[in-house]
Amino acid sequence: MAPRGSTSKPGTPAPASGEFDVIGPRGGDTGKQVTGVKGHRLPPTPQPGQSYKLVRPAKNGAGKGK
């Protein structure tokens, strides 16, 4: 699983399943969130230069495979 403090760029596979905050170009929180599934690509951000930060990992085992 990716560390909670690291950020991911839009279009890259999500490092883990859970809730991601949209982070502004200078590192501030935008107040928007998206749900990501491990291995699926993260959606485009509303503005250029933004990224995603995992804030609440899924606790149901989603994305771990069998």
pLDDT at 18: 93
Q: Which residue stretches of the chain have pLDDT < 50? A: none
pLDDT at 30: 94
Residue 43 forms part of a structural domain:
yes
Residue 63 forms part of a structural domain:
no
pLDDT at 60: 76
CA dist., res. 26 & res. 38, Å (int) = 26
Q: Quickly count: other Cβ atoms within 10 Å of residue 63's Cβ.
A: 18
Residue 11 forms part of a structural domain:
yes
Counted domains in the chain:
1
Residue 21 forms part of a structural domain:
yes
> Is 0.85 surpassed by the pTM of this model?
no
DSSP per-residue letters across the chain: ---TT-EE-TTSBBSSSEEEEEE-TTS-EEEEEEEE-BTSBPPPPSSTT-EEEEEEE-SS-TTS--
The domain containing residue 19 runs over which residues? Answer: 7-57
With contact defined as beta carbons under 8 Å apart, do 32 and 4 qualify?
Answer: no
